[in-house]
Amino acid sequence: AAQRHLSSHLRKVAADTRKNVAVGAIFAVSTLSQVYIGIKCISFTGEWQAHPHVMSAQGALLGLSVLLVNVEAWLINRLVNIFTAEEGFYVPEFHEHRLFFTKLPGAHVCDLCRANSALMYRCTVCDWDACPACFQRQDKATGEGVLRGDKGVRMTAEVGRWTYLRRTMHLVWPHIPLFLVALACLAANAAANLFLPNFQGNIFDHVISAHHACSADERADDCASSKRSFYRTVQIYLVLSVAIGLLATLKSLSFSIVSRRIAIWIRKRLFKIMLSQDIAFFDGMRTGDLQSRVSEDISQMVLPIQYSLSSFLSNVILLLG
């Protein structure tokens, strides 16, 4: 069956080439027609004084013909695409969308058995692939890499953005004191960064003023005052830089501790849930997938709390400042 589908796919590729040639010819004819109408509009002459209404109607019709040519070209193109569209394979008990047999340029991973293959039955709607071996079975209840229990395959529901946000707040809430400390350090760090350019500018201003004041007389009061202002500004700048470094360290440490605590809590809860699953669950899931869920996937899940959230809030404060 896979060989027949491959032959059909190759014929489809050849048919797509012919279809593209036909669509290109339609586009060329449409373009030439519009160019011809444009030339006619430019070179159009008539007795405007004698018959103004007739000539206005003729000009409007010439302009309308351009629109009609585009509509006709679009309808023909649409008709060609409809008649040459591939129906695909629709097996509701295997996948909720139509699958199209495709020969991919490189080896892709089957979403069921995790095998690498260049020949895939692909769903373009949800980016889902199935190798020919899994497609021939057409039964997810007996394949690996499928979430199922003793009662059959378990369907996973779509989760929206607000649901993700609500779940994130639920995870952060037990560690809210440390999280607030991290936010306070983040706000103080961002606020201190707002003042650094001001002090840098003041340092340059004091250098310039001291240069002008001390060039005439180094013993003058203006020269000594400029030097004192320069040293005082440099001291404030150094203290502010050290404070920014300490706040950044404390912020990173706080976010890191919060994310690690959340990861540990999720790992414990996930492991507890795994132990209470049916035997069919372990028949469908591979050991490597379970290990990846407990280790790598959870680490990637809490990573935005440690980096993305802090960067986002810091940029917002800098933007408002």
Written as six digits, the tokens of 174 are 């037990």
Entry pTM: 0.50
- Other residues' Cβ atoms within 10 Å of the Cβ of residue 294: 16
Q: What is the DSSP letter of 220?
A: S
Q: What's the pLDDT at 144?
A: 55
Indicate if 54 and 108 belong to the same structural domain: no
Q: What's the pLDDT at 96?
A: 72
> In terms of DSSP bridges, do strands 100-109 and 152-153 run parallel, antiparallel, or are they unpaired?
unpaired
Q: What's the pLDDT at 150?
A: 58
Number of domains in the chain: 3
Give 307's contacts (C-beta < 8 A, 6+ positions apart): 255
Regions of the chain where pLDDT drops below 50 = none
Q: What's the pLDDT at 159?
A: 61
**Domain of 107, in residue numbers:** 100-138
Judged by DSSP in three states, 255 sits in helix
Indicate if 216 and 316 belong to the same structural domain: yes
Give buried/exposed letters for 17-27 (b at 16+ CB in 10 A, else e): eebeeebeebe
Q: Give dist(CA 189, CA 110) in Å, integer.
A: 47
Q: Give dist(CA 225, CA 57) in Å, integer.
A: 85
The sign of the CA dihedral 303, 308, 314, 320 is negative
Q: What's the pLDDT at 101?
A: 79
Indicate if 130 and 37 belong to the same structural domain: no
Indicate if 209 and 280 belong to the same structural domain: yes
Which H helix or E strand runs over 39? helix 2-42
Indicate if 62 and 183 belong to the same structural domain: no
Indicate if 128 and 171 belong to the same structural domain: no
Indicate if 79 and 112 belong to the same structural domain: no
Indicate if 180 and 300 belong to the same structural domain: yes
Q: What's the pLDDT at 81?
A: 78
Give Cα separations from 307 to 174, 191, 288 (angstroms). Answer: 20, 19, 27
Written as six digits, the tokens of 188 are 């103080």
Judged by DSSP in three states, 149 sits in strand
- Other residues' Cβ atoms within 10 Å of the Cβ of residue 146: 20
In the chain, DSSP assigns E strands to 100-109, 116-123, 128-130, 148-149, 152-153
CATH number, residue 265: 1.20.1560.10
Which H helix or E strand runs over 117? strand 116-123
